[in-house]
Structure 1
Amino acid sequence: MRTNRSLVSWFGLVLLGLISGSLLPTDAAAQRSAPQEPVAPPEGWIDGAIEWRSVGPANMSGRITSIAVYEADPTIWWAATASGGLLKTTNDGRTFEHQFDREATVSIGDVQVFQGNPDIVWVGTGEANPRNSASWGNGVYRSTDGGKSWTHCGLDKTFQTGRIALHPTDPLIAYVGSLGRLWGPNEDRGLYKTTDGGQTWTKILYVDDKTGIIDVQMSPADPQTLIVATYERQRDGFDGNDPAKKNGPGSALWKTTDGGATFRKLTNGLPTVNLGRIGLSWYRQDPNYVYAIVETEKTGAEPENAPWFGVRGEDADVGARIVEVTADGPAAKAELKVDDIVVQIDGQTVASYQDLLAKVRRFEAGQTVKLQVARQRELLDLEVTFTQRPQTPQRGGNNPDRETQAGARSPFDGGLGGQLPNYEDQQGSAGQEFGGVFQSADGGETWTRINSVNPRPMYYSQIRVDPSDLNFVYVLGTELYKSKNGGHDFTDDGHGGDVHVDHHALWIDPRDGRHMILGNDGGLYVTRDRMAQWDHLNHVAIGQFYHVGLSANRNYRIVGGLQDNGSWGGPSRVANGPGPVNTDWYRVGGGDGFVCLVDPEDPDQIYFESQNGAMGRINLRTGERGFIRPRAPQGTSYRFNWKTPFLLSPHNPRIHDSAGNYVFRSVARGDSLRAISPEITRTEQGSGSAIAESPQSEGIVYVGTTDGWVWVTVDQGKTWVNVFEDPSALVPPADQRGPGGPGGRGGFGGGPGGGG
């Protein structure tokens, strides 16, 4: 490894500052000498002064957003990532080359390769998924040498790219669907077309400054014909799971048959309420068939006139046995009793309890139907009049195989804004308003809803039909849904526990539908037996680290939290030539990982967290684990950010500070965590977003919130000042300040062990 004297001096001074200022026990730190003036690193130190080496890990990989395969030779393909650039393989995934590391962004929304020449590759930057870990880009790039070099083709202010569509025979014609800003209005949204390889662009479809383009699909039979999905969405500043707006009047389907000169809005058979995200897939063998997965403002809900029966039951040998009858409910008024077996409803045989519920849901509140019931070996004829579900809050769930209780969630709610599969005939006569999978048999002119499935639409909304077999349709979600009958029935068994969840990209070989490449939050997978077995290509280090921490010893340990892949630790170096490999890394926490810190006095003591304030610690030497979260007193509620800020005091690492809507402190490594501040947020949605203690002056702590307030204490949390109300509080008295100022070098959001 080449060295640079000025760089070595700089690192040495930083290390000296760490040792003298924050890595020694409190009594030693109190005796430290006067700190040195901070020294800037030498100019160009990132690119020229040192050689970087990857230490991994590749165990868990990271979020894939798009896959592009050169179909004439499917061993050549590209995978785009949410925040790790672009990968290319020329040997079907055995090795990969990172191709987008020197551009202005590494967040990619879509990648496409021109099928007439694999040297021509297009990249649209900025991830399309509107979640709280999304990054933005700076337009479109084009390569004419297979990705070795790139030309920036403009569209700088489009921020996020939904989809790119390429002309099949003319390498100069491309369409780019631009989503625009995720956090506010943006006039650069819309569908753009170039006919000169990206030198100039024409905006050919524009709705308004709130609505962008999420999908663009070109007819396999006619490159002049495209169907385009527009999407109105916006995030707020509070870092929640869903966007603040995920549907609106701007979301729709549009069709052109003249290469974008004119567009028509498609409505026939589609929902009439506000739409959200839409995904498209065109069947290659017969372009009359098009599939769409459609989110609406009603997705996952129950119809307003849904019937309520007022029972719970179970399967009988024949029919449905009643195990509970709600007092004063429709069933009770019909004199249905516990242990009755319903064998017919409205003249139709009941095969099971689930079948009973399915048949009940085909009616509406207010309708009266006949029941045939077996009671003590006698058949009775009863009549029940369904009512609307009472709104009194009671215990209930979202299992569609039992009737939900009063006040419960919709039985069709798939969680996280999604909708469960195979209930399209149980959401009433206007079931299409709830969205799901739609099929067109006339090139998109008219549509029919064929399934209710739509998992977490804002994050997925990806549907694929096998290019060579209309029977096989796939919907990507937390699970991988597959249909063998053209989308009329779906199962969620596209993979087992050995495959990561959260799927975003799927390529299906047009010559062999058994061969697929899958991209999800855990990286890349390949199957050659139609999803029976998957091979994880876990040899590319594209994990999405939110934060990295280091231990204080010479052969330091690296720990960090990753998006949807927990928290991991590993060595900075090992006693072999190649360096750390996957097996050198170990998991220390689950969920989504964020801040990770190492006790500077004990390199085996690691602190970690997952989403929404679920903090913890683990000692690698002893195996001791602890859960770190404050318990709110009666009448008080605590809330935390998706990525909760916490620190270990640089003056005493036993002190653990964190921030939600209060600042919390433990003086015993996270035990007995308690609030030490007033409520620090400006709104009921806000939470702590950053916290720092001065490494120079013990007790000076700053904390910031997602809704824009900053507070400071200079006396260990006894008193707090909102610096927006008293700006003078930003500067403590001179005798409490070190030369680095409050917050100082290295203190922000991390503490000892380093912020990442």
Structure 2
Amino acid sequence: MNGLLIAVIAFEGPDAERVPLDTLIARANAYQEKVPVGATFRKEKKGGWQFIGPLPLTQEPWSDGTVSGRTSFVLNHPTDPDIVYIAAAGGGVWKSTDGGNTWEVLTDALPNLASGALAFEPGNPDVIYYGTGEMHYSGDSKNGDGLYRSEDGGQTWTKIASVSDVGSYISRVVVNPANTNIIMVARDNGIARSTDRGATWTMPLYISWVSDLAVAPDSPNMYFAGVNGMGVYVSRDTGATWTRLTGGLPDPSEPFYRIQLAISQSSPNIIYASFDNSGLYGLYKTTDRGSSWVKLENTPNYLYPQGWYDNCLIVNPTNPDIVYAGGVFPYASGYYGIVRTTDGGITWEDITDQSPNGRVHPDIHHFSFDAAGRLWVACDGGVWMSTDGGDTWINRNQGLGTIQFYTLAIHPRDTSVLQGGTQDNGSPRREGSDVWRVILSGDGGPQLFEIDAVPGLDTSFATYQGFGGPYRFVNGYYNRDTHGPWNGSDRASWASGAFFTHPAERSTIFAGTYRLWRSTNSGISWAAVSGDLTWGNGVLISGQVSPQNPDIIYVGASDGKLSVSTDGGNSWIARSPGVNQPIESIKINPNNPGEAYICTSSRVYHTSDTGKTWNLVKVFSFLVRAMTVDYDLWPPMIMVAGEGGIVLFSVDRGASWDTLGTGMCGAEIYDMDFDFQHQALFVATHGRGMWKLPDYQAKVAEKGRDLARLGLFWAPGAGILYCLPEGKHSLSLYDASGRLVARSEISGGKGSWRIPDLAPGVYVVRTGSWSAVFPVAK
């Protein structure tokens, strides 16, 4: 039941999140390279941060059950079929030495784990090139940090080219088999070329994004490139100059986009080229090395409806008539996943689902053959392999920790129980161990636990892309459909919409599209409590109800609008901080409804008057995706996280910042939250799963930072010690009978209250929500 709930629309995932090239370039231009050329990293990154899975996900319904995250590339050793490398879209490079039975991660220490392509140096497979930046054109296809090289099979890595040298998005790296000093990189806006093993770079083709690049297996001077929207280009001088091929191929004036190529290794005159226009514009074949081409009219439309995203080709290395093409998934009639021809393109069959002998997850990105002739597949669900050309499939995801989380929810009483929303792998749940099972399929969106959850009994909610749902679960098992009336009509976030609870009413929950919705009966019915709370084109992505005064509600939008209600949602006031950046996180002081911190994609702001005025706390030089605040400390501890696995903290209201913990990988962090009772911090990465930092306050103390926890404490000889937030407080002391013994008016901060001549007995001191019970001895 769980997995079938949204199966019919799972294929729409990336399509709705396709972004214009200008947007991808703007994102890349805002990126600041983290390390210079020449920086070196070892594969290990040890420290206090702990990876807690998934490794991999289980019970995923679209595949044969076990999945990891989206994978961009498979690189098979040229002579040893048991050695294989993969590049995870957001999780870096992994290596197996036993044919995919087990894996080890090689790149956690790098500052950017967005993956484009891998390549060996011909003749020396210990030399590996890693091109960062994923060229799949989706909203979460992240820009990279240049080109890296390992000389020792992935044990160490050195950055050899900057973003300005090789681009922000890389689809292929090709090292010339006759002269390994010549390196070619297919990149955004063209092809980069080095003739001195990466020391210097030129741009011999500066034209458009290049989705594919290959060298002729029998002629190292000859290269072919698939140039988006332009056509197939050829170089006959090792990439120094380029010419567009015609001879039956589409003209640049025609409406095609991405192009993928496949050259026959056994008959190099035979080349296949696929042209995309969301569906298949045409699959073309040449038998004379590109002089003339014919369109293979019988090819099924395997690219429909998102050939810009999942699009790949390969020719069997010993038989030029056997070709594999990868697209989406055979959801229904007219949809295809992996299709195969054995007669050079005359007839085709879909081989994605060979149940009970294996089923490959949707969205195919790359093919590769190993030295034993086995076919490998990279897709949104990780990696599969076939020993018989696709008649059966073997799942190779065990041990890959590459899930791309969007969101995180922590059980309010048992932090061993977590839920999250992931890219194309649904909403997984963790229950007390590193085993995660999918409870809802598709692209997982925001998740929620009701506030009265206790260990062993909880009500939670999961959503899918576009704020579809929600669905309600009890102890992680489907309970009922709680769809909101916004489904199919409202503008909503793809996977990070505002979804939050009422602090006192267990059955009251809120969901944000472009307006705010409220349910008072655990999702059975919903009512809109606002109009459009964006500037007109955005969606709601954050929100919170004040724990002390539930009439105060903050809601933040993707276009930078912040709205506040002081009457429980009956009316709304725009109280934006003045910068049109996404309001990623809102954290209200539980003891003071007027105080809150918010973070945008690069800034943290503070208010002490419910958003009437804002103080700019900090401007960061990296993309910030999440923030949380531990108001139980004084001053409050602010924590932010985002790009490059960066997690920073401040315990002086933003005057200074430091790294929190050690050993965090370089994957981008999308969400974070903490368990104050156990002092554990959790972060959800988009490519390396979920991580935990135990006892984060101790990590702060190790850096010499003074921490004080809010509260009242008895210290014999010193009196009543207090640590209280700013403002006026009235301390009241009672004896065991409830009689008021003493009272004192104090200001917030740290201090002591001495009460002379207390008689022996038991006393209670109170102020606001804080209290302490202590004995006085004779």
TM-score range, shorter-chain basis?
A: 0.5 to 0.7
1:149 and 1:655 map into 2 onto residues whose CA distance is: 52
> What's 2:378 paired with?
519
Contact 1:125 1:136 in 2 (8 A): yes
Letter of the 1:493 partner, please give it.
I
Q: Deviations over 1:608-658 (max 9, x none)?
A: 11011213243334956233333269xx94232211331123444432111
Aligned with 2:473 (options 619, 625, 641): 619
Contact 2:93 2:107 in 1 (8 A): yes
2:578 and 2:118 map into 1 onto residues whose CA distance is: 50
Aligned with 2:443 (options 587, 592, 596): 592
CA pair 148-624 structure 1, distance change in 2 beyond 3 A: closer
Deviation at 1:223, TM superposition (A): 1.4
Q: How does 1:20-419 map to 2 (within 5 A)?
A: 50=48, 52-59=50-57, 60-157=67-164, 158-179=167-188, 189-207=189-207, 211-231=208-228, 248=229, 251-272=230-251, 273-296=254-277, 417-419=278-280
> What's 1:411 paired with?
none
2:88 and 2:148 map into 1 onto residues whose CA distance is: 15
Moved more, 601-610 or 637-646: 637-646
Contact 1:468 1:511 in 2 (8 A): no
> What's 1:500 paired with?
361
Q: Deviations over 1:175-226 (max 9, x none)?
A: 01112xxxxxxxxx3211112221211111101xxx2221111111111111
Deviation at 1:482, TM superposition (A): 0.7
Alignment of 1:552 with 2:404, yes or no, is: no
CA pair 73-751 structure 1, distance change in 2 beyond 3 A: closer
| Identity level (%) | 26
Letter of the 1:221 partner, please give it.
D
Deviation at 1:537, TM superposition (A): 1.5
Deviation at 1:254, TM superposition (A): 1.2
1:70 and 1:178 map into 2 onto residues whose CA distance is: 24
Q: Which has the higher contact order (CA 8 A, sep 6+)?
A: 2
Letter of the 1:447 partner, please give it.
W
CA pair 471-620 structure 1, distance change in 2 beyond 3 A: same
4+ residue segments displaced more than 4 Å: 46-49, 621-624, 694-697, 724-727, 729-735, 739-744, 746-756
1:622 and 1:552 map into 2 onto residues whose CA distance is: 14
Contact 1:468 1:510 in 2 (8 A): no
Q: Deviations over 1:5-47 (max 9, x none)?
A: xxxxxxxxxxxxxxxxxxxxxxxxxxxxxxxxxxxxxxxxx97
> What's 1:412 paired with?
none
Uncovered stretches (5+) of structure 2, i.e. residues with no partner: 1-43, 58-66, 329-336, 598-606, 612-627, 632-639, 641-670, 676-681, 685-778
> What's 1:737 paired with?
594
Report which of the two has the higher share of strand.
2
Deviation at 1:462, TM superposition (A): 0.8
1:673 and 1:629 map into 2 onto residues whose CA distance is: 9
Contact 2:588 2:596 in 1 (8 A): no
**C-alpha RMSD of matched pairs (Å):** 3.1
Aligned with 1:483 (options 332, 341, 352): 341
Alignment of 1:608 with 2:459, yes or no, is: no
How many residues matched? 531
Deviation at 1:735, TM superposition (A): 7.0
Alignment of 1:439 with 2:446, yes or no, is: no
Contact 1:294 1:461 in 2 (8 A): no
Q: Secondary structure at the match of 2:99?
A: coil
> What's 2:522 paired with?
669
Deviation at 1:507, TM superposition (A): 0.8
1:230 and 1:175 map into 2 onto residues whose CA distance is: 14
Q: Secondary structure at the match of 1:638?
A: coil
Q: Deviations over 1:81-130 (max 9, x none)?
A: 11111111122112211011111111101111123111100011011111
2:468 and 2:505 map into 1 onto residues whose CA distance is: 23
Q: Secondary structure at the match of 1:547?
A: strand
Uncovered stretches (5+) of structure 1, i.e. residues with no partner: 1-45, 180-188, 232-247, 297-416, 420-434, 574-579
Aligned with 1:529 (options 367, 388, 410): 388
Q: How does 1:418-457 map to 2 (within 5 A)?
A: 418-419=279-280, 435-451=281-297, 452=299, 453-455=301-303, 456-457=306-307
Letter of the 2:464 partner, please give it.
S
Q: Secondary structure at the match of 2:367?
A: strand
Aligned with 2:501 (options 631, 638, 648): 648
Q: TM-score, normalised by structure 2?
A: 0.64
Q: Deviations over 1:633-692 (max 9, x none)?
A: 9xx942322113311234444321111121111122222111111123444x54323334
Letter of the 1:737 partner, please give it.
G
Contact 2:360 2:393 in 1 (8 A): yes
Letter of the 1:171 partner, please give it.
T
Deviation at 1:746, TM superposition (A): 7.2
Contact 1:508 1:516 in 2 (8 A): yes
Moved more, 222-231 or 591-600: 591-600
2:476 and 2:576 map into 1 onto residues whose CA distance is: 45
1:622 and 1:529 map into 2 onto residues whose CA distance is: 38
1:192 and 1:552 map into 2 onto residues whose CA distance is: 51
Letter of the 1:460 partner, please give it.
D
Q: Secondary structure at the match of 1:113?
A: strand
Q: TM-score, normalised by structure 1?
A: 0.65
Alignment of 1:701 with 2:699, yes or no, is: no
Q: Secondary structure at the match of 1:531?
A: coil
> What's 1:631 paired with?
485
Deviation at 1:694, TM superposition (A): 4.3
1:124 and 1:257 map into 2 onto residues whose CA distance is: 24
